[in-house]
Structure formats: C-alpha cells, structure tokens
C-alpha cells in the first residue's frame, strides 16, 4: 500500500558531514558496486566508453562554491542520495504500490516486480534521489543497503551501508535517528544538523552537518625582522636624505 | 520538465475525447443511429487513443493493470480507474443511442460526470507535485478542465457554448501563464535552501557530479522551451482560441467548423508542450539550473 505509515519504529538514515567530506566520490563508486551486484536490477551504464556516457547512480556528489560577503570562497563537496523522508512524496504518488516505506525501520524501497516505470515518483522527489534505469526500465533508489545492514553473513563491522563503510574521511554516519541517544542523533544535536529543502515539507530522515566556521589566525610573520625597513615618518634632514637616496638608481624598492 | 511527446499527445487527445464524451452524455447533440455512432467513434478514438499513447511512456506497460490498485493515495491510479469507469458507462449509454435510439439520461449523466472527473484526476497528477511549483497551484485543474470542455463543445458542434467557452479558456490560459511565471520564486526553494549552505554565503554550482548528463538532467532540466516561450504563447493563443473564434463567427459551414477544430487542437498541443517545457523542477537547483 502506498499510503505512508503514521510512524515508524526506527528511523534509519544517514548523517553526512559537509565539513569533512573531501569529494573523493568513493561512496559513489562503492554504492554503484554493491548495488549492481546485489539487491534488485543492476545499475546499468549507457555508452560508458563512448562520447556521451551516462548511467544510473543512487548516490551522487555535487561540489558547490559558497561565497561569503567577506573573505575567500569555500568549496563544499555535497553527497546526495535518498533521504528516506518521513513524509515521502515519492511513495504516495505511486499507482501500483511498488514504492513503500517500511514500518519497522522507515527505509523507503521499490518493489521492482510491481514497478511500471511511469517515473512519477522521480517527479515527486525534490532531491533527485530516484533514477529510472535505462536498461531495466524500473525505478532505482538508495535502499540504505538493506541487504547489508541486517546481513548476518557479513562481519559485524560491514553491516552498514556501503557508502558509510567505504568513506575514507569519516564524513558519513549511519544509525537510528528516532533514538535520541544514538551516536547519529547526538552528532546531529551537537553539530546543528539540518534538513535539505525544509520548505518542501518532506521531513527528511537524513541530516547534513554544516561546515565548521573557518578559524582565523592572528597575523604574524617570522620573517618580519629580516624584511626591508619601512620608514614613512622620517622628517627634516633624514626625510630629505630618504627621498634623495630613493631617487638614486639601485636602491631597494 | 522534458516535454515527452507521448504525454503531450495523451493529455491533449484524451482531454478532447473525454470533453466530447461529457457533452454526448448530456445529450448534446442527442442524435441517434449512425450520426451518434460517428460521434461516439470520434470520442472513443481520442480518449482511448490518448490512453494508449500514455502507455508508451511506461517502462513496463505489461504491468499497467497494477496501476488500478492504489486509488487511496495516488492520483495516477485514480485517473486510471475514472477513465475505465467513464469509458464503460459511456459505452453502455452509447449502445442505447446508436442501436436502440434510446436516451438513457441517468447513465449518460453518470458517464458525463465520470468523464469530467477523469480530466480532473489527470490535472491533479500535475497539480499535486510540490516539486514543480508552476504546476502546484489552483489554476492547473481549471485549465485542464476548461480546455477539455471547450474542445468537447467544439467537437460536439455546440456552437452556442463554444464561443463563451473559448473566451473563458483563453482567460484561464493567460492567467495560468502570468501566475505561473512567479511560482518558482514564491516556492521558497533556492540553491541556498537546497544545500542548506545559505548561512555562509551565495551558493554556486561549482562542479556537477559527473562530466556527462544523467536521467535527472534529461527528465527535469529543459531550456529550449523557455527560450521561445513568448512566441509560443502567442502561437497557442492565436491557434487555440482566436482563429476558432473567427471561424465560428463566419457564416456556418462544415469546412469552417473543421478548420476551427484543427486550429484549436494545434493550439492546445502548443500550450500543452509549453506546460511541460516551461515547468521548472526544483531538483535543477542542485545543478545550478532550472
């Protein structure tokens, strides 16, 4: 049924730290790798070695330049995948019941056997989290690696989404955001985690942590004693001498 | 939004077909026998033909029957159910008119309501989408309904209704364009709200996720339509409303009626193309585009 559950027992999701993400795209590659080989239809590529390559990805990393009113611009790498919204508009528009939100953990999934490939769920998502696979003609989206997180055949440290497991800078965190005592909830509270496009009313479960303010260094220079002296306040005879010597060729600039 | 020909043809043709069925259901014209057969054939060709075009848009049309199951939450599912119900009821009514020269008013009335309801559900598929601010407004449904009823009146030859309906539709159409132009700005979605980085400063897309294009960019970011929007709006107004009005005020003749219908359909196709091509999806903000 594509009506949304009134509440879910858990709210499993990701917390993405925009301060530490280095934009290496390792999460994109590990996501594509795991989800091509496991749950559901593989993530196909079209013309991958040709002039116009294109393919299905469940996670993409954008890079934004942010220009403050004063000071240098900041470059912020911005990974984006399904936010497993509490009020997921992609689920309610589905005409076949293929899209659903799980009551037990809040994960939004697509039952690919029921998907007619109409694309309306992708239209309803403000975040671009759903992509129609051009080969299989069914809607693909992040499953929060539902086939890893509960998989007892994997070592315990691997029971988290592939993107989180692979991130070399620790910018991705996975956990239950309904539990206020969980590591991810504490992280969100301490760092001021925020929602993307709150005005769309989707109530995303995934949170983003803002870049920390840039620290400022007091100006000091260990070479200062060795630099040319600057004498601007010289007057009288010394002032005349300063100007006269400056006028001669070969002096310091 | 990508203006997919299958959806443009579907919404335009089935809108006309269900508009015609509405008038037929109300007994306008109340012809029977072969004349009624011709009217019903045209209506069904348009309505069913439009629905068939819509299946070209599906990745898995063989599973289309599953789309009738989610009427509690999905406007697309409701549309499918309304369309089938309208077509079945109007077929029963049509059989009475064509073969038995009977006007079963109650069945026709129910069929007319269901036909209109189908157009309304189609419009709600677009009007419900918060992600496309230009569609997510109270004028979208009146626009679809007005165009459908006007086209239906034109096809049914109800000249006394056509002229005021053409004027009414043109007014709604212009209002839809004027109001729609400021909808994205009013939605509050910006690159700053999309990224949550507005507290630092002005956000600019520095590097997209991939060097190539992708499904999202192909589906949601369309620029060509906007470039010529003003010219296309003028073409849609002239073809869809002005020329049919002129043809219908000329001394009545079948040739002018046919020209009026053809012009109107071409104008509505232009308007519907713009409906998609001009619509901005907020996901474009992540790409620094719209």
Q: Which residues contact B140 (CB under 8 A, 6 or more apart)?
A: B123, B126, B127, B176
Residue spans of the domains in chain B: they are: 5-287
φ, ψ of residue B68 to 5 degrees: the values are -85, 0
Residues B64, A125, B220, B145, Cα dihedral to 10°: 60
- Nearest of A193, A176, A202 to residue A16 by alpha carbon: A193
Interface of A with B in 141-160 (CB under 8 A): none
Measured from the Cβ of residue B159, the count of other Cβ atoms closer than 10 Å reads: 14
CB contact under 8 A, B66 and A92: no
Residues of B whose CB is below 8 A from A120: 76, 125
The answer to whether the peptide bond before residue A208 is cis (omega within 30 degrees of 0) is no
**DSSP code, position A138:** S
What is the predicted ipTM?
0.92
Q: Using CA atoms, how far apart are residues B267 and B290, in angstroms rounded to an integer?
A: 25
The topology under which CATH files domain A12-209 is Alpha-Beta Plaits (3.30.70)
DSSP states of B194-216: HHT-TTTSEEEEEE-SSSS--HH
* B141 token code pair: 């449904």
CATH class in words for B5-287: mainly alpha
| Cα separation, A207 vs A195, whole angstroms | 6
Spatial separation of the C-alpha atoms in residues A158 and A206, rounded to whole Å: 20
| B76 contacts A62? CB cut-off 8 A | no
Q: Please report the residues numbered 189 through 248 in chain A whose beta carbons come closer than 8 angstroms to any beta carbon of chain B.
A: 194-201, 208, 210-211
Q: Are B269 and B12 in contact (CB under 8 A)?
A: yes
Beta strands, E only, A86-143: 99-101, 108-110, 131-132, 139-140
CB-nearest partner of A95 from B70, B193, B197: B70
User: Would you state the structure tokens that stand for residue B120, as one six-digit string?
Assistant: 């309304």
Residue A84 to residues A105, B141, B258, Cα–Cα distance (Å)? 10, 30, 53
Pairwise CB contact (< 8 Å): A95 & B193? no
Q: What is the pLDDT along chain A (253 residues), one digit of tens a residue?
A: 578 888 888 999 999 999 999 999 999 999 999 999 988 899 999 999 988 999 999 999 999 999 999 888 999 999 999 999 999 999 999 999 999 999 999 999 999 999 999 999 999 999 999 999 999 999 999 999 999 999 999 999 999 999 999 999 999 999 999 999 999 999 999 999 999 999 999 999 999 999 998 877 777 777 777 777 666 777 888 888 888 888 888 765 5
- In 10 A of CB B66, how many CB atoms? 20
| Mean pLDDT calculated for residue range B235-264 | 90
pLDDT, tens digit, for every residue of B187-196? 999 999 999 9
Q: Is B185 on the interface with A (CB under 8 A)?
A: no
Global pTM? 0.89
């Amino acid at each position: 049924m594509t009506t949304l559950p009134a509440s879910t027992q858990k709210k499993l999701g990701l917390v993405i730290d925009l301060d530490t993400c280095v934009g290496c795209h390792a999460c994109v590659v590990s996501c594509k790798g795991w989800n091509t080989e496991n749950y559901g239809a593989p993530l196909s590529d079209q013309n991958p070695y040709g002039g116009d390559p294109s393919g299905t990805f469940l996670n993409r990393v954008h890079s934004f330049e942010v220009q403050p009113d004063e000071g240098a611009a900041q470059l912020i790498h911005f990974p984006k995948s399904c936010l497993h919204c509490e009020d997921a508009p992609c689920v309610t528009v589905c005409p076949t019941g293929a899209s659903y939100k799980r009551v037990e953990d809040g994960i939004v999934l697509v039952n690919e056997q029921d998907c007619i490939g109409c694309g309306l769920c992708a239209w309803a998502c403000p975040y671009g989290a759903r992509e129609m696979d051009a080969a299989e003609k069914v809607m693909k989206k992040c499953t929060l690696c539902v086939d890893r997180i509960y998989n007892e055949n994997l070592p315990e440290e691997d029971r988290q989404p592939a993107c989180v497991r692979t991130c070399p800078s620790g910018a991705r965190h996975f956990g239950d955001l309904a539990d206020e005592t969980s590591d991810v909830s504490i992280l969100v509270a301490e760092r001021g985690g925020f929602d993307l496009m709150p005005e769309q009313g989707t109530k995303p479960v995934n949170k983003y942590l803002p870049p920390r303010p840039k620290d400022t260094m007091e100006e000091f220079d260990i070479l200062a004693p060795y630099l040319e002296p600057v004498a601007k306040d010289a007057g009288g005879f010394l002032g005349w001498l300063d100007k006269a010597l400056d006028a001669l060729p070969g002096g310091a600039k | 939004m990508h203006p997919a020909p299958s959806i443009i043809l579907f919404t335009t043709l089935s809108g006309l077909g269900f508009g015609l069925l509405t008038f037929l259901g109300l007994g306008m014209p109340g012809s029977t026998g072969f004349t009624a057969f011709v009217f019903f054939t045209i209506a069904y060709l348009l309505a069913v033909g439009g629905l068939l075009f819509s299946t070209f848009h599906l990745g898995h049309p063989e599973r289309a029957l599953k789309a009738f199951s989610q009427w509690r939450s999905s406007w697309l599912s409701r549309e499918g159910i309304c369309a089938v119900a309208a077509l079945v009821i109007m077929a029963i009514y049509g059989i009475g008119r064509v073969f038995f020269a009977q006007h079963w008013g109650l069945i026709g009335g129910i069929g007319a309501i269901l036909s209109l309801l189908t157009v309304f559900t189609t419009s709600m598929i677009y009007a419900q989408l918060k992600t496309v601010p230009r569609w997510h407004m109270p004028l979208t449904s009146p626009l679809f309904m007005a165009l459908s009823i006007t086209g239906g009146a034109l096809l049914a030859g109800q000249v006394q209704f056509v002229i005021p309906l053409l004027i009414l539709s043109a007014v709604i159409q212009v209002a839809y364009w004027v109001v729609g132009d400021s909808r994205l700005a009013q939605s509050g979605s910006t690159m700053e709200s999309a990224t949550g980085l507005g507290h630092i400063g002005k956000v600019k897309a520095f590097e997209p996720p991939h060097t190539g294009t992708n499904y999202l960019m192909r589906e949601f970011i369309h620029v060509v339509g906007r470039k010529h929007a003003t010219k296309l709006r003028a073409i849609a107004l002239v073809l869809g409303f002005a020329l049919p009005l002129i043809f219908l005020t000329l001394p009545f003749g079948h040739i002018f009626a046919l020209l009026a219908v053809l012009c109107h359909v071409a104008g509505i196709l232009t308007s519907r193309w713009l409906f998609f091509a001009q619509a901005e999806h907020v996901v474009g903000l992540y790409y620094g585009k719209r």
